[in-house]
Structure 1
Amino acid sequence: MTNLLHIDSSIRIEGSVTREVTRAFADAWRSANPEGGYAYRDVNADRIPHVDGTPQDVTAGLVAELRAADVILIGAPMYNFSIPSTLKAWIDQIATREFFPREDGTFELGGKRVVVVTARGGSYKPGTPREGFDFQEPYLRAVFSMIGLDHDLEFVHAELTLADVNPQLHQFRELAVESLADAHRVVKELASA
């Protein structure tokens, strides 16, 4: 039996692009894996304490969820060019020494599949003026590589999500619609694979 761990981190419930797209992935995955296990965590609604040097009872539960998962789905909107602090708190609780490389160079979490769905108000694609402002994907790639979650790691970006509300981006509204439609298509393909 395959297990999916679904994590959302958007501060928005209604109108959240990452919640919309991760829900599409989860629905397609659950249809393709009717016998599969499913765990859901909303790190915005059920906040995880930030690491402060004291033992955290919550860590054991988060680690158990992570160990049980075969597929990890993360909704990560871009806030100020990076990830929400609530998602960073989750990462800080699970990115511990116990998941660092073993002596033989392998990782306990190395066989897991990770799909990260992002939403970005602008565009950060290669060649765009803000390409160098993307501290979201590079950070997640780096931290996941530290604990072996980078071997089967996919990013699905929905860009220009503020094109309807930001007058400076109005000219990109059609591209925003295309980007969201493409994100939905890609997650359905990934969920069915």
Structure 2
Amino acid sequence: MKKLFLIIGAPGSGKTTDANLIAKRNEELIAHYSTGELLREEMAKGTQLGALIGSFVNEGKLVPLDIVIDTIVSAIKNSDKDIILIDGFPRSVEQMKALDEILKKEPDIKLEAVIEVEVSEETAKERVLGRARGADDNVEVFNNRMKVYLEPLPEIEKFYESKGLLKKINGERGIEEIVDEMEEFIKSKI
């Protein structure tokens, strides 16, 4: 039985870094996947699916929902670990509902929790603009990414809260404190 933890948070909330650190600390137990990395890896394999994903990515279009979901489910099933952390998913109500439908038909995958790393918009902006890793780390792009994150958030929170799966973690603290709390919570569920 694969135990799945979804980690969501605003751009700059630290969700990818947090999940990476937890997986590194527990590499015999926990696998971590980032949705974007999974899609890029599939493209790099040169498979038919990879070519299809590439055709959307290369045109700057969103990869269709069913392909994103299939890629995630495939990564979970093929992982040699039983505890899976996926960050940055779901990003929309459609993704949330689609994953929920698939999980109902997958007896070998159980969603244990959705962990939301909470940071203020101000903190998120400072972190994203401070890291300036690429062309997308500017105010205009940040504001758009923040809007895309915040619009579906109340519905996503309500959905997972009603199932008793939502855990909020204060992302305004030092990284060690955040990672320790998240890791402790994950371990309490396994």
**TM-score range for the pair, normalised by the shorter chain length:** 0.3 to 0.5
Identify, as 1 or 2, the structure richer in helix: 2
The structure with higher relative contact order (CA 8 Å, sep 6+) is: 2
